[in-house]
Amino acid sequence: MLIRKVSDILSSEITPHSIYLNRRQFMAGAAGLLLPVSAIAALPAAKSPFSSTEKPNSRNDITSYNNYYEFGSGKDEPAIYAGKLKTRPWTVTVDGEVNAARTFDIDSLLKMKLQERIYRLRCVEGWSMVIPWVGFPLAELLKQVQPTSRAKFVAFETALRPGEMPGVARRVLDWPYREGLRIDEAMHPLTILAVGLYGEVLPNQNGAPIRLVVPWKYGFKSIKSITRIHLLEKQPPTSWNMANAREYGFYSNVNPEVDHPRWSQASERRIGEFFKRKTLPFNGYGEQVAALYRGMDLVKNF
């Protein structure tokens, strides 16, 4: 299947320097099958339960309209300022309730078996995008460190570099940016660590060199530029919840029936579209993830 071929090529040593060459190789491969690169989403393989068949937003939309408060709170500011972030050398430490704590070098993570997955990202502010991420399941990283039976939650931390991040001078959030998932959410096959988009390494404004993507939750759960992943028994504190617990809960599953206290979540605007569309429960991933929350009151646990 073509998608497998794509991932094979993508996983062969992606580095910022070789990525362009890989992309050229990939395009050559696709041409051999008489298919333009843009046709991938329409192939049967793209209909896997993990990839949306929706038309992705343009690369320009995805890289110029961002939330990354370490570089300012304006949607245009990450694209302007995030270039300052040095993404090499870079390590991700995975520790806590594990038997084999380890610090991974980013270049070794880029050698994981990468896949292209088209996922929706839905922001709590009411806009959404469809993004062709390149990444690998978080579960594959977590298995390598052997979680203990006490590992009930996973905490994530973004790098904190005041010299490179103009936005952290303002105390909008309690830095470093922190997020968390329950262990079953973290191990779910839809949850990925993304290292690229549109077949290329992640632009800094999208969370280079590695960021989380949890497609059934509001965008703020998808933490960028991760340096630490910590497994623990208790639910970890998270940045937006600490800033305003009334507005941002720990779960933050996309839910058209639970409004944000200051606005409705019943509809959303896809960036690039004029008309709004109805928000889907779990951002349209209910079939895959609703079972994780069976028996839970999702109004209380928003």
We find the least distance from the C-beta atom of residue 52 to ligand MTE, in angstroms, to be 15
- Judged by beta carbon distances under 5 to 8 A according to partner kind, the member of Mo ion, ligand MTE, none in contact with residue 119 is none
Interaction of residue 219 with Mo ion, rule CB under 5 A: yes
- Judged by beta carbon distances under 5 to 8 A according to partner kind, the member of ligand MTE, Mo ion, none in contact with residue 69 is ligand MTE
CB 114: neighbour CB atoms within 10 A? 26
Interaction of residue 63 with Mo ion, rule CB under 5 A: no
- Judged by beta carbon distances under 5 to 8 A according to partner kind, the member of Mo ion, ligand MTE, none in contact with residue 177 is ligand MTE
Q: Which is nearer to ligand MTE, 12 or 60 (CB)?
A: 60
Interaction of residue 131 with Mo ion, rule CB under 5 A: no
- Judged by beta carbon distances under 5 to 8 A according to partner kind, the member of Mo ion, ligand MTE, none in contact with residue 188 is none
Instruction: Give the amino acid at 100.
Output: A
Residues that bind ligand MTE (CB under 6 A): 66-70, 121, 123, 158, 177, 206-207, 219-220, 222-225
In this chain, which residue has its C-beta nearest to ligand MTE? 219
Q: Does residue 28 contact residue 12 with C-beta atoms inside 8 Å?
A: no
- Judged by beta carbon distances under 5 to 8 A according to partner kind, the member of Mo ion, ligand MTE, none in contact with residue 250 is none
- Judged by beta carbon distances under 5 to 8 A according to partner kind, the member of ligand MTE, Mo ion, none in contact with residue 222 is ligand MTE
Q: Which is nearer to ligand MTE, 180 or 207 (CB)?
A: 207
Interaction of residue 123 with Mo ion, rule CB under 5 A: yes
Mind spelling out the 3-state secondary structure of the chain? CHHHHHHHHHHCCCCCCCHHHHHHHHHHHHHHCCCCHHHHHHCHHHHCCCCCCCCCCCHHHHHHCCCCHHHCCCCCHHHHHHHHCCCCCCEEEEEECECCCEEEEHHHHCCCCCEEEEEEEECCCCEEEEEEEEEEEHHHHHHHHCECCCCCEEEEEECCCCCCCHHHHCCCCCCCCEEEEEHHHHHCCCCEEEEEECCEECCHHHCCCCEEECCCEEHHHCCCCEEEEEEECCCCCCHHHHHCCCCCCCCCECCCCCCECCECCCEEEECCCCCCEECCHHHHCHHHHHHHHCCCCCCCCC
We find the least distance from the C-beta atom of residue 8 to ligand MTE, in angstroms, to be 26
We find the least distance from the C-beta atom of residue 127 to Mo ion, in angstroms, to be 8
Of 32-40, 63-71, 140-148, 197-205, which segment contacts Mo ion by CB under 5 A? 63-71
Q: Does residue 102 contact residue 197 with C-beta atoms inside 8 Å?
A: no
We find the least distance from the C-beta atom of residue 220 to ligand MTE, in angstroms, to be 4
Of 183-191, 217-225, 229-237, 294-302, which segment contacts Mo ion by CB under 5 A? 217-225
Q: In angstroms, rounded to a whole number, what is the distance separating the alpha carbons of residues 103 and 90?
A: 10
- Judged by beta carbon distances under 5 to 8 A according to partner kind, the member of Mo ion, ligand MTE, none in contact with residue 68 is ligand MTE
Q: Which is nearer to ligand MTE, 26 or 69 (CB)?
A: 69
* Ramachandran assignment for 289, one of left (phi > 0), alpha (psi -120 to 50 degrees), beta (any other): alpha
We find the least distance from the C-beta atom of residue 213 to Mo ion, in angstroms, to be 13
We find the least distance from the C-beta atom of residue 36 to ligand MTE, in angstroms, to be 25
